[in-house]
Amino acid sequence: MAKHTAPVKKNDTITLTFEDLTHEGNGVGKINGYPLFVPNALPGEEAIVKVVKANKNFGFGKMLELKTKSPERVEASCHIHCGGCQLQHMSYKLQLEMKQNQVKNVMKKIAHLDHVPVHPIIGMDNPFHYRNKVQIPVGEKNGELIAGFYQKRSHRILENTETCSIQDETINEMVKATREIANRIGIKAYNEENHSGELRHIMVRTGFATNEAMVVLVTRSNKLPGKELIIQELTERFPQIKSIVQNINTQRTSVILGEKTKVLWGEEYIYDKIGDITFAISAKSFFQVNPVQTKALYDKALEYAKIGKDDTVIDAYCGIGTISLFLAQKAKKVYGIEVVPEAINDAKNNAKLNGITNAEFSVGEAEKVMPDWKEKGINPDVIVVDPPRKGCDVDFLQAMLDMQPKRIVYVSCNPSTLARDLRILEDGGYETKEVQPVDMFPQTPHVETVALLELK
């Protein structure tokens, strides 16, 4: 049999028409059936493309010149190449369509459930300035402090790119002001190579519903010269700042936050609300970055859970209790499990803060804790699961199947692993009823999804 070779080779320049998008938002064009993936290209466009890599079955290209433009192409509002917002060149309508198709495709190809309804994706009215948190690295150039995102696939700071079009606009202003004050005082930036200097990152968090803000200065050691001046200037300029915190990271590492945190001024927490539940957020708390869409996502999860006042619910991967506390308003009892001890402390505090007494939180791996609960006679009517991108562990899926709840509500941030897990749950006796995609991260390829399963 003749050996297949690619119809193009590296550095070839060709004219290509695009007919589709990958789930990362790259344009797909074909030469004699051989697909080339090209960033920044849209279906229906024709472009001159340079081949940058040619594998046996597919290749990658770089757009040199756009010859015909799609009506769905828009002018990107940001020209910083940090690699964060890969979809800014496409209309919001097309972004939503692409994400909807991604969920439909995996339901068909991976889960083999193409008969299950995938509802139209829930988008945002304003798909910009939605993020309530940023952490920006600090560097030095010509003796001046610079702060900004890293260039795509590099460790080079893009100079003073504190402004970001998906960040809350006051966050952008606070980062910029913090850098300018630190620069004026003469605080040195952290130097990775020789592990010297002080300021590593500037982090800002805001409460969407409360308008409260927290500034976190991540430093290499306890030292922070001129902190009184930083506090005075920031609090005078931004009265919404309720907390200024120093986080000390002494390690040679790319991990942003260190073990030790101390409050320099104000409170240890700021507060935010999702629906009518209040959350205390510390420097290290995990909290969803898009509160508007989080509410849409949780409302859908709650609707699917159909909880009655006599129901027992398990919330696996419960984090700081965000979903658990919503569920507890309707259920008889909620049990939350999470592997991160700090998150469980936050969850317990958030339950207290809201006067919720029917939620109990445990530290541990769900696949180990749940069989133990089953032996103790805890039989959930509903299990809600919101795993990380890698999806659910096989042992955890088995632990859920062993418990036989009436309903499983699966919240997912990765359609492929969701589809893989739905297939296993279907084979274990559950039926997937419906799927709802939610656009939690506009301008990026990520999509959140909620699926409802019922015991057959």
Question: Residue 139 and residue 145: Cα distance in Å, rounded?
Answer: 6
Concerning whether 413 is annotated as a catalytic residue, the answer is yes
Question: With contact defined as beta carbons under 8 Å apart, do 423 and 392 qualify?
Answer: no
Spatial neighbors of 77 by CB under 8 A, at least 6 apart, are: 88, 128, 165
- Mean pLDDT, rounded, for 276-281: 94
The CATH number of domain 96-125+290-455, selected from 3.40.50.150, 3.40.50.2300, 3.30.413.10, 3.40.50.10490: 3.40.50.150
Catalytic residue among 82, 318, 392, 413: 413
Question: Residue 8 and residue 14: Cα distance in Å, rounded?
Answer: 9
Look at residue 6 in the predicted model and tell me its pLDDT. 85
**One-letter amino acid for residue 1 of the chain:** M
pLDDT at 323 over 80: yes
- Mean pLDDT, rounded, for 226-231: 94
Question: With contact defined as beta carbons under 8 Å apart, do 446 and 413 qualify?
Answer: yes
- Mean pLDDT, rounded, for 46-73: 94
> pLDDT-derived band of residue 160, with 50, 70 and 90 as boundaries?
low
Three-state DSSP at 70 gives coil
Domain boundaries, the chain: 13-68, 96-125+290-455, 133-281
Domains 13-68 and 133-281 share a fold: yes
Q: Percentage of the chain with pLDDT > 90?
A: 80
Question: With contact defined as beta carbons under 8 Å apart, do 175 and 164 qualify?
Answer: no
Look at residue 82 in the predicted model and tell me its pLDDT. 67
Beta strands in 114-255 (DSSP E): 133-141, 144-147, 199-206, 213-219, 241-248
pLDDT at 218 over 60: yes
Three-state DSSP at 340 gives coil
Does the predicted model carry a pTM greater than 0.85? yes
Question: Yes or no: is domain 13-68 CATH 2.40.50.140?
Answer: yes
> pLDDT-derived band of residue 114, with 50, 70 and 90 as boundaries?
very high
pLDDT at 2 over 50: no
pLDDT at 3 over 70: no
Identify the residue with better confidence: 80 or 89.
89
* Mean of pLDDT over the chain: 92
Look at residue 281 in the predicted model and tell me its pLDDT. 93
Mind listing the pLDDT tens digit for each residue in 375-409? 999 999 999 999 999 999 999 999 999 999 999 99
Look at residue 148 in the predicted model and tell me its pLDDT. 80
Q: Hey, what CATH class is 133-281 in?
A: mainly beta
